[in-house]
Amino acid sequence: MIQVGIVGGTGYTGVELIRLLIAHPDVEIKMITSRAEAGRAVSELYPNLRGACDVSFSAPDIKTLSKCDLVFFATPNGTAMKMVPELLAEGVKVIDLAADFRIKDIEVWQQWYGMEHSCSDMVAEAVYGMPEINRAEIAKARLVANPGCYPTAVTLGFMPLLEAGIVDPGSLIADAKSGVSGAGRGASVANLLCEATESFKAYAVNGHRHLPEITQTLTTIMNKQVGLTFVPHLTPMVRGIEATLYARLTDTSQDLQALFQARYENEMFVDVLPVGFDPETRSVKGTNLCRMSVYQPQGGDVVVVSSVIDNLVKGAAGQAIHNMNIMCSLAENTGLTLTALLP
């Protein structure tokens, strides 16, 4: 059994990680930390876990965490980087679900996250944990930077087009929408039911923290700088992301449906829908799937991709477990054979 610790188990990402791990046949959760809730039963805070998780929250302690084989950080940005060096020195593998190790340019990271990075020497070593791109590197990694939710939906949608070199990389557009859980569990007036329901709005139009992460990944895929306009929106639902992606084709002779199907035919967590079917966020709710469709409206020179994920699973906890499975030489879908919740 893989002995696992979870640092930061009180947020939505943390409880989703717990929910999935308690059903994982090769994992034992040894420790779930929270300074504020130390001593309190996890199932008391999250009654959905009653009878399934008998762990109580404890204060984060390096000595205890060092007894784990792998530690997940489901913490605010800036937390993992303070503890990771000691854990790695003790031989513990780490998956960070926050952004501490995603962006390779430290100055860019500090600009977007508004703090000084405390272990910049570890950033170069960290592997970006998108299995569809970095599977081989993840298998050898001791530190994985789990991708953000928007970057997951956007990158997977653009990737086949960029790899094939059939679109203009300088004029990409990502129009993305997220459920309110993407903002986290912290109290906020903007996220109250009366504030968010029956409304729809764009936010962070001048610059969202996920923009440099997406641009970095797409640039790596293309091996040249890309130009991306990324506009996120808040939708009045709990879970889910839909990303509508636009690019201008430089080669209109390609069979786009065949291109996408060929790229993802061996990826168990990416589902390219048949022609005529449109992705819905509810079709991936609670699963580690990314579902997508590709369109060429009116047979013109613009390609449109619709990509949907559950922001808490494929966009966070599920992808982290996928990475763990690869790091620990398990079947990639272990603990992740999930069917979407309907209605």
Which residue numbers are catalytic?
A: 149
Is residue 342 packed enough to be buried (19+ CB in 10 Å), middle (13-18) or exposed (0-12)? exposed
CB within 8 A of 146, min separation 6: which ones? 95, 96, 97, 129, 316, 319, 320, 323
- Of the candidates 223, 294, 290, the one whose C-alpha atom is nearest the C-alpha of residue 258 is 294
Give phi and psi for 255, each to the nearest 5.
-85, 100
**Tokens standing for 326?**
């690869």
- For the chain, helix, strand, coil in percent to 5 are 35, 20, 45
CA-to-CA distance for 199 and 227, rounded, in angstroms? 30
CB within 8 A of 241, min separation 6: which ones? 149, 150, 153, 176, 177, 178, 179, 182, 281, 308, 309, 310, 311, 315
CA-to-CA distance for 45 and 31, rounded, in angstroms? 16
CA-to-CA distance for 124 and 101, rounded, in angstroms? 8
Decide: helix, strand or coil at residue 7.
strand
**Tokens standing for 280?**
């819905």
Plot region of 93 (φ>0 → left; ψ -120 to 50 → alpha; else → beta): beta
